[in-house]
Chain A
C-alpha cells in the first residue's frame, strides 16, 4: 500500500533523458535523495501548469516549460529563486499565500506532497537539466528522434531470447519478480494463430506442432502463419481501424459507398509485407507517384474514408471542410500519434502546435478532386480488349475500302470549322435548386452540383450581362472527376436528362418587366432518335432529351445550343432567369439522373449552334493533319465514320459491340484538383470565418519539411516517413505492441504529446522503432521479433503474487490474457463450426441481421440481402459496415464505428455480449454447425466427440472435471429430444427447408445444446 512509484532514469547517448516508469516497483527513493526535476517535478508542471503556462500558452507571460522562461518569470518578475523556496513566488502562489489566488487557477490545488517536492527542488538549487541554452520548445522525449539504446543488463542470462526480452526482464528483475514460465504448446500456437491470422489453429496444426520437437519448431510456425493469406486480413483490419473504414457515407442518408477495393488493397499490402514507408506514401499520395498503378490510386482511399453528408439542404462546402478536418485527424492519429485536431480552433493547449500550423497541414489536403475510380477486374479488362479489337477491325475494313479517305476527311474538316469564341460564358450568376441541392462555383464559370440528389430537379439560374442583341444560348454539360464515372450527370452511370430549358429576361433593376425568351432551332452534339433535343423546348415536361449514348460513350462533355426567336439585350444590361428542368420519367430513385456540372454561355453571332464535334476531336483538329499521332488520327476517324450515312451498317455493328462495354466496380480515390484551393485559417475553427492565408507546411517543432520534397501530399508522406521524424516509427511499433499485449508501451497510442504518460518501457520502444526503420520498415520483421521473444511465450496465468504486485501487467511478467476482438469472436466460432469461408476480399457481405435493426436508420430501411451461400459465413471483417446502424453482434464487442480514426479499441465485458453469443441467430447457427461437425467427425463415443468438440473451441482437450460436466449436460439434454421431433429440428437446424441429410436430428440436438455452451466459454473467446 505504501510503496511509492519508482522511476528509473536512463541516459541515452544523445543526451536526451528518458524516464522509465514503473508503476509498482519495490524499491523506494529515500528521503535523502535529491529531487530529480525531470521525473518528479516536470510531470507536476505538465499536469497542472502547462495548460496556461506551457507550449504556446503564457498566461501572465510566464512559461514553465523551459528553464530559461521559467527562471525569467512573468509580468511581475521572477517566480523561482534557486536555493530559496521561501523567496520564490511560485511557492506562495501554489500555497495560496499572500492574498493572491491559489494556483492552479480554477484547478485542484496541488497536494502537500507535490508542493513539498517543488519546494525541495528549489531549495536544492532548482536544477533544470537540459543545458543552459534557450529551449523554447521543451525537448519532450517523443519529439526527439529515437536512437538505438544499449541493452540493459540482466541477471538471468538464460531467459532472454532476443533484445526485447532484455528490456522487459530488466524491469521485471528490478521489481523483484520473475518472468512466468513458458505457456503450454497448444496455448502458444492458439495465441500465435489468433495474433497473426485472427483465426484459431486447426487440430492438425496443433498436433503437428506438438509432434515437432526439433529445434526451430516455433520459428517455423511463425513463418507459416506469416505466409498465410489470412495474415493480411488480421493485420489489415488492424490498420482499417485507424483508416476509419466503413461501407456507408454516414450522416443522415448514410448511403452505401464502394470502397472495399481499398480494404482489399490493405490486405494485399500486408500480405506482401509492403514496407511501411511505401505503404504510407501510396495511401497519402499514390496518385502523385510517376505513372501510378491502379493499386496506387486505390490506396488513396485512406483519405477518402471520411464521412460524407448528403442530407438535403446541406452546404456542401461545410461538409467538405468537415471531411478535411477528419482527414487531418486521421493523419495525426494513424501516423503521428499527435492530436493535431486540437489546434483547429486555437493553438494546441499542451503540444507546441499553433493554429496556423494546423491549417498548414490542412493545406496539403485541400486541393483535391474526389473521384470514384473504376477498378475493373481481369475479366472486364479482357472483354474490353475484345470489343476494342473488334471495333478496330471493323474500322480497318472501312479504311481499307475507302482509298480517298484522306481527301474526304480534309473536306469534312473544312465543313466542320467552328468558332468557339463566339460564346461568352455567363459569370455574374447565382443558382438555386429545389430539395436543397447546392453548387460549387468553379473558376471556369461552371457549376458543380453537390449534396442531396434524391429527386429530379429544376436548377434556377439568375445571370446578368451587359451584352446586347443576344441571339443564342448554349449549355455545356461538363464532366468532372467528382461525378459518378465522371458524369456529366449524377446517377450511377453519370447519365442525365433535360426536360425543359426556359429563359426569361428583364432589364437589370426591373424584375417586374420580365418576359419570356422564345427559343428555336436547338442543336446538340449528341442525339438519340427517341429523345430528340427538340423535347427540351417543346413546353412539355413529360418529354426529355437523354445524354445516354450507351456504355463507354456516355461520359463525355455535351453541348446544346438554342436560337432566340427575337434577339434580347436591354440597354442597361439584362438579367436572365434560366430554368433547367430535369424531371425524368423514370421512377424516383437515388441517385437521380440530374446534371452534375454545367455552364451557360450567350452569343451575338448570326447563326448560333452547338459545336457538333466532341471536345477531344475538336482539339485534335487544331493540330495540322501531318503532325497527328496514329491514336489521334484514329480518334478523328472514329467520330468521322459516325457521320457517314453509307456506313450505317458498320456503324450499327460497332454500336452493338460497344453496347456490350462492361463496367467494373469503383472505389473512392483522390487526385489533384485542376484549380488549387487557397487555404485560410478559420478563426475559432469556423469555416465561415476565414482569416489569413497559409501555404502547406509541417509543424515547426518537428524536423523540417525535406527541402527536395514537393509541397503536396507526396512531400507530406515523405516527411512522415523521414527517418528524422521522431514519431512515425514509434507510433507504429507501439500499436503493433498494443495489438499483442493489450496495451501499448505508450498507453495512449493516439497521443504521444506532452500530456501522455511516459512509456512503460522507453528503451524498448526506441529500440523497436529503430529496428523497424532499419529493417526497411518491415512489419513482418517486427512480428517475428515479438513472437520469437521469451516475453511473448510466457504463460498468461495470473498468480496471486503477480496480481498483487502488478495487477495491470505493466511489467509483462506474464503474457496478457485478453478477450479477442469483435471479428475474432465471430471467426473463432465460425472456424469451430466448420462453416467458415476462407475467401479473401471482394464486396462486403450480408450475414443474417436481427429483424428491426435496420429500421433504426433514417428513412426506409436499407436493403439487406441476407446471404444464403458462402457469404453467410465469411470472416467478420467482411460484414457490411453501416455507420448509422453498425452490425449489432460486432458493435457489442466494441468494433469501432468508423466515424473517426481509432487506434485503440476498448474491451468491454457485458451481459449484452452474453446474450449475443448465446442467442443471436448467427451464433446459434455456428453452434448447430459445430454439433453436426462433431457428430460426423468426432469419433464414435460421446467422450471422443466431446473431446473433439472441446478442442475445436479452445485447442486443448478438456480435463477430467470439464469432461464430466459436459457429459452430464449432454446426458441431461438427450431425453428432452427423444421422440420430440419438432424440438429436435428447431434446436439442431436453422433452415427447415434444408435439413442436414443422413443424420438423426434427435441425436444432433443435444450436441447443439452442448456446442452452444462450448462456444460461450470464456476461454473460447479469449487469447490466453
Chain B
C-alpha cells in the first residue's frame, strides 16, 4: 500500500496528462489521428475497419443476446423432462427390436434391458409443464420456459456431438454459434469481449472448437474466462506494475505509435492504438465485473453464490453481469452429465449444483427486464438411452449410454413462446414421434429470433458461402411467441 501512495505522489507530476486522459478518454486516439493525418479518408478507413462495430441483422430481432447454458456430457432427458410410463411397465425387459433399428450405441449392446427413471414426474405452473422431481427449483419458472422434447442430433460421441451442437457440423473447423452471432451483430461492449466463455464442471470434449471462430476472423472466437483470479488472460499487470505505471507506459506507447503513424500513414497503426486503449479499459472493467460485493444479499442467495468460490452458480450470476455490460454471447460450459453409471445419483448431484442457479438466472433476467430480449438455452449435445448401461467389468451399473435420436432441452426468453412443451417421443423414448427439432432447426430458430435469415447469414470461404445451418435448418414456428 505504501508503494501505491508513493507512486501516486510521483504521478502528481503528470497531473495534466492524467486529466487529459480522464477527460478525453478514447477520443484522444481519433483526435490525434485526425490532426496527424488531416485526411478524412484515413480516419474513415480506420473506423470502417472495426469488425466489431454493432451491426443490424436482416430484420427486427426479438433477441439481442444469448446465454447458452451448455450442460454437456449428455443430460438424461428420461430423468429430467421426458416421462415414459412404458419404461416403468417394462422396466428390466429387453427392448423390442423394432425400436432400436438403425440406432448406434457408443458402449452398450443394443439388447440391454429397459430402465425406468427413478424419479417421479409432475406437472407445474399454468402451462402444466411436466418435469421430474429431480428439479426442485425449476418448477418456479415452469411458465417462463419452453421445453423441447424432440431434439435430434447426428452424433453419438461427445466431441463430435458437442462440435455439431455448437458449430452445426461434426467436422472440426467451423465457426461456433457464438462466433456467428458475434460476426452478425458485432459488439455492444467497449471494454469486454463480445463472446465470453465461462466454465464449471470438467473441460469439454469439444474443447476450443466449441467456441472457436473456425474460418471466420479469429476475433469472433469466444474468450474463455479463467475460473479463478482475473477473468481474462493477462488482464493483470505484471508483478510490481501498478495501474498508474501501466497508464504511464501506455501514454508513452501511444505517443510513440501516434508519432510513427504520422510517418507511415498506416490506418492499421491507428487500430492498434485503439486496441491498447481498450485493453487498458478492460483491465479496469474486468475486476469490476468480478466484484460481486455490490450484488444484494437477496440476489446472492437466490443464485446460491458463495462469494469467492468458482461455481456454476457464480457463473450464472456473472453471465447476467456480462449481459448488463453489453456482452453479446455468454457460453456457460458445465460438462458433468456423462452418467454411464448410477444416472439417478449423478442427476441428483448435478441438480444440487445447477438447478437453483439456473432458475435464479431466469427469474433475475425477468425481474430486470432482460429476459424479453435475451435467449437462454439449457441443453447438452445429446441425451441418454432408455436402456440401462451395466457392465461389471467396467464397474458400471444403473447408467445410461449416449442417445442421439431423441433428447430434451429447454429455452427461455428472447421471443420463445413461454410455457410450451414441444414434441413427443415414442413409447420408450427411442425416437421422436412428433415435431422433430434437429440441431440445425434449433440453430435456424435461434438465428431467426436474433434477426437473421439463417440461410443468408453467410461467410465466403473456399469459394462457398458457408452458414451455421449448412444446407439444412427449418425455423420451428411453433416455438416462437
Contact = CB atoms under 8 A, between A and B. Distances in A.
Interface string A155-187: 000000000000000000000000000000000
Interface string B227-243: 11100111111111100
A339 B252 contact: no
A435 B206 CA distance: 19
B198 to A, nearest CB: 11
Contacts of A913: 275
B126 to A, nearest CB: 41
Contact of B104 (A315, A858, A987): A315
A853 B233 contact: yes
Nearest to B227: A852
Given A313-B107, A314-B157, A918-B279, A850 B464 contact: no
Contact of B172 (A250, A906, A984): A250
Interface stretch (A531-539, A773-781, A1015-1023): A1015-1023
B265 interface: yes
Contacts of B462: 333, 339, 341-342, 748, 750-751
Question: Lowest 8 CB-CB distances: which A-B pairs, in order?
Answer: A313-B106, A884-B207, A986-B240, A252-B205, A751-B463, A914-B279, A798-B265, A252-B159
B25 interface: no
Interface string B385-425: 00000010110000001100000000000000000000000
A919 B172 contact: no
Contacts of A857: 203, 207
A399 to B, nearest CB: 50
Contact of B239 (A852, A986, A1009, A1019): A986
Given A912-B223, A962-B259, A1013 B249 contact: yes
A339 to B, nearest CB: 4
Interface stretch (B5-13, B113-121, B362-370): B5-13
A969 B17 CA distance: 13
Contact of A987 (B171, B239, B253, B264): B239
A869 interface: no
Given A796-B264, A851-B229, 16 more contacts: A251-B172, A755-B464, A799-B265, A855-B227, A858-B202, A859-B202, A909-B271, A911-B276, A915-B283, A918-B279, A919-B237, A924-B238, A965-B255, A1005-B240, A1013-B253, A1018-B273
Contacts of B235: 915, 919
B173 A900 contact: yes
A444 interface: no
B106 A436 contact: yes
A897 B172 CA distance: 10
A297 interface: no
A313 B105 CA distance: 8
B156 A313 contact: yes
Nearest to A928: B238
B266 interface: yes
A623 interface: no
B362 to A, nearest CB: 27
A23 interface: no
Choose among B3, B13, B256, B260 the residue with the greatest number of A CB atoms under 10 Å from its CB: B256
A800 B42 contact: yes
Interface in B421-473: 461-464
Given A858-B203, A924-B238, A803 B41 contact: yes
Contact of B463 (A250, A350, A909): A350
Contacts of B199: 855-856
Choose among A315, A581, A861, A1017 the residue with the greatest number of B CB atoms under 10 Å from its CB: A1017
A676 interface: no
Contacts of A987: 238-241
A1017 B256 contact: yes
A61 B223 CA distance: 49
Contacts of B255: 965
A742 to B, nearest CB: 11
B269 A1018 contact: yes
Interface string A766-804: 000000000000000000000000000000111110011
B45 A807 contact: yes
A256 to B, nearest CB: 14
9 contacts: A326-B171, A858-B335, A900-B173, A965-B256, A972-B13, A983-B3, A1009-B249, A1018-B272, A1019-B260
A966 B212 contact: no
Contacts of A851: 226, 229
Contact of A803 (B45, B217, B245, B401): B45
B264 A852 contact: no
B464 A1016 contact: no
Contacts of B104: 315
A819 B268 CA distance: 9
B278 interface: yes
A280 to B, nearest CB: 21
A311 to B, nearest CB: 5
Nearest to B338: A312
B107 A436 contact: yes
Contacts of B401: 313
A311 B217 contact: no
B269 to A, nearest CB: 5
B253 A856 contact: no
Interface string A802-845: 01100100000000010100000000000000000000000000
A372 interface: no
Contacts of A852: 226-229
B109 interface: yes
A962 B394 contact: no
A908 B159 contact: no
A435 B107 contact: yes
Interface stretch (A191-199, A363-371, A377-385, A973-981): A973-981
A894 B217 CA distance: 9
B38 to A, nearest CB: 9
Interface of B: 3, 6-7, 10, 13-14, 37, 39, 41-42, 45, 104-107, 109, 156-160, 170-173, 193, 199, 202-209, 212, 217-219, 223-224, 226-229, 232-241, 245-246, 248-249, 252-253, 255-257, 259-261, 263-269, 271-273, 275-276, 278-279, 282-283, 335, 391, 393-394, 401-402, 461-464
B271 to A, nearest CB: 5
A744 interface: no
A985 B207 CA distance: 38
A922 to B, nearest CB: 10
A888 B223 CA distance: 10
A455 interface: yes
A307 B171 CA distance: 10
Contacts of B173: 899-900
Contacts of A325: 171
A988 B237 CA distance: 14
Nearest to A1021: B272
A856 to B, nearest CB: 5
Nearest to A984: B240
Contacts of B212: 897
Choose among A252, A339, A892 the residue with the greatest number of B CB atoms under 10 Å from its CB: A252
Contacts of B278: 911, 914
A350 B465 CA distance: 11
Given A313-B107, A435-B107, A251 B159 contact: yes
B43 to A, nearest CB: 11
A707 interface: no
B367 to A, nearest CB: 32
A307 B461 CA distance: 21
B249 A309 contact: no
B463 A859 contact: no
B282 A797 contact: no
Interface in A912-947: 912-916, 918-921, 924
A441 to B, nearest CB: 17
A455 B394 contact: yes
A460 to B, nearest CB: 9
A398 interface: no
A287 interface: no
A685 to B, nearest CB: 10
A934 B272 CA distance: 26
